[in-house]
Amino acid sequence: MGINNGTRPIVGVVPLYDVERRSMWMLPEYFTMLERSGAVPMMLPMSTDQTVIAQCIELCDGVLFTGGIDIHPSEYGQDPSSQCGETSRELDAVERLCMQYCLDNDVPLLGICRGLQFLNVMLGGTLYQDLPTERPSHVNHNMRVAYDRPVHDVTIEHGTPLAEILADVHSIGVNSRHHQAVKTVGQGALVNAVSEDGLVEAISVPGKTFALAVQWHPESMFALDERNRRIVAAFVAAMRSTMTEAA
């Protein structure tokens, strides 16, 4: 970091990936959310070359880890179950390189949905491969459109970074569209929020400038929900602080 001479932080965004077409793509909501929060989004390449990834992230002030397809269970030492969804070993490798670089170099990161799951896996945690079959619940974790509305509540853990961002709000309503989730929490991960049925909904990594991930989708609720805007604003503020220190 440190070569950005502009006033707005640059965010490297991990691409979404279409396995059938072998193509990378992006939902506009991610870019719109970042632009309206005062940042400049830039999609990262699907490269498994460590040097390429490092050079790309060095152009950025932070990284957004997006939602998307399932993480291959081999990433957390398991075989795929019959209910595991579509995976991409290439995307897993790209995301692992990106996240490892961020953690090693204290690059601010925000994880969303799959991004939370991958951060947990990077820290040695495991996942439920399919919530409906492995952990049935009355809570709707896989809502239908529209995604800009809350479908269940999460409790914010007091004293966590998320609680500070949300000014110690006890709970918030969130959207939810996932069939995988944190099973065992990774070593060193701090749980920031849990759902009504006890699922981990947000984690952070203590000691980092900003390393926070949520299971819900702020990009879909951003326009209508001020608390989700606060989360993204805190990410952007953290990047701005590193830009100031590097100046």
Provide the token pair at 192. 């920031």
Q: How far is CA 86 from the centre of its chain?
A: 19
Residue 11, SS3 per DSSP: strand
Residue type, position 236, single letter: V
Report DSSP state, residue 22: T
- Per the annotation, the verdict on 72 as an active-site residue is no
Catalytic residue among 113, 141, 178, 201: 113
Euclidean distance between the first and final Cα of the chain, in Å?
Answer: 11
User: Distance (Å, rounded) from C-alpha 114 to C-alpha 181?
Assistant: 9
Catalytic residue among 75, 95, 157, 219: 219
Q: What are phi and psi of 224, to 5 degrees?
A: -110, -10
User: Distance (Å, rounded) from C-alpha 6 to C-alpha 146?
Assistant: 36
- Per the annotation, the verdict on 152 as an active-site residue is no
Provide the token pair at 60. 């950025």
- Per the annotation, the verdict on 60 as an active-site residue is no
Which positions are annotated as active-site residues? Answer: 113, 217, 219
